[in-house]
Amino acid sequence: MTTLRTQLLTCPHCQNKMYSIGVMSYTIRNSEVFSDGKISSNPPRPLEHNILICNACYKAFWKEDALINDDNTEDINELHEANNPSDLFPGFNAEEKLKRIHYYSELLEAKFANTKEREVYLRIELWRLLNDEARYTQKEITKSVKRLFDENLKGLIDIFNPKNDDEQLLVAEMYRELGEFDEALLILKHLKGGGNNQACLQIEEAVILKNSIVFKII
């Protein structure tokens, strides 16, 4: 069962009022976990969008900057729902995905992520979006986005501050996907538990095979 909550927002740019639907809880039957940390579930997991787009001025903003601390939702029916980046390019084909990739890249270049935590979030979103091309096909990322892929991951490594073993494993995965296998293996060897968990073992195996493509953890 999925439990939702309605949140009131005001655009930081033009003060337009709107609303967003937040997810409090949900039930899934099964899920797939990938080496880059992305989780695909059945039924699809309701997405929590930290980045939204005003339906009046069409500018992007961080959801937490726009939240109104007011439980009064009596006029909610008179408001429109805030958009998210996926709404700008609603298709699922390669062209629309490429547009979303460039949109996130432009947000980074414009310094939209004004804190380290926000830059980490945006770079991880871009990383996983870029990986979608290879996620099920197991084909290498095309040359048209390879440079962006590498630049984004290097930028993410520079600012990412892992706080636990799971985040250390994520850093090892970043190095693996960059093809820097020695760096990845060094991190894997120092993880607690001696690499006994399934994800660590499979990522280590991919490193040894010099495979840099994202894959499903089995």
Q: 3-state SS string over 101-148?
A: HHHHHHHHHCCCCCCHHHHHHHHHHHHHHHHHHHHCCCCCCCHHHHHH
Task: Let me know whether 35 and 129 are in one domain.
Answer: no
Higher pLDDT, 45 or 202: 202
CA 127 to chain centre: 7
| High-pLDDT (> 90) share of the chain, % | 68
Task: Let me know whether 31 and 99 are in one domain.
Answer: no
Query: Among 31-35, 60-64, 109-113, 150-154, whose mean pLDDT is lowest?
Result: 31-35
| High-pLDDT (> 70) share of the chain, % | 88
Question: Which residues, in sequence order, are bridge partners of residue 217?
Answer: 33
Domain hosting residue 171, numbered range = 88-217
Query: Among 12-21, 25-34, 94-103, 153-162, whose mean pLDDT is lowest?
Result: 25-34
Task: Let me know whether 72 and 101 are in one domain.
Answer: no
State how far the Cα of 200 lies from the Cα of 206, in Å rounded to an integer. 10
Task: Let me know whether 98 and 197 are in one domain.
Answer: yes
Q: Domain boundary residue among 46, 66, 85?
A: 85
Task: Let me know whether 74 and 116 are in one domain.
Answer: no
Task: Let me know whether 108 and 137 are in one domain.
Answer: yes
Q: Domain boundary residue among 59, 85, 111?
A: 85
Task: Let me know whether 42 and 107 are in one domain.
Answer: no
Question: What is the structure's pLDDT at 41?
Answer: 73
Task: Let me know whether 135 and 210 are in one domain.
Answer: yes
Q: Which residue intervals of 136-180 are DSSP H helices?
A: 143-159, 165-178
Task: Let me know whether 29 and 100 are in one domain.
Answer: no
Query: Among 25-29, 69-73, 124-128, 192-196, whose mean pLDDT is lowest?
Result: 192-196
Task: Let me know whether 92 and 81 are in one domain.
Answer: no
Contact 201, 186 (CB under 8 A): no
Q: What angle do CA 34, 87, 117 make, to 5 degrees?
A: 55
Task: Let me know whether 115 and 201 are in one domain.
Answer: yes
DSSP letter assigned to residue 10: E
Higher pLDDT, 94 or 212: 212
- What's the total number of domains in the chain? 2
pTM: predicted TM-score of the whole model, two decimal places: 0.90
Q: Domain boundary residue among 55, 85, 115?
A: 85
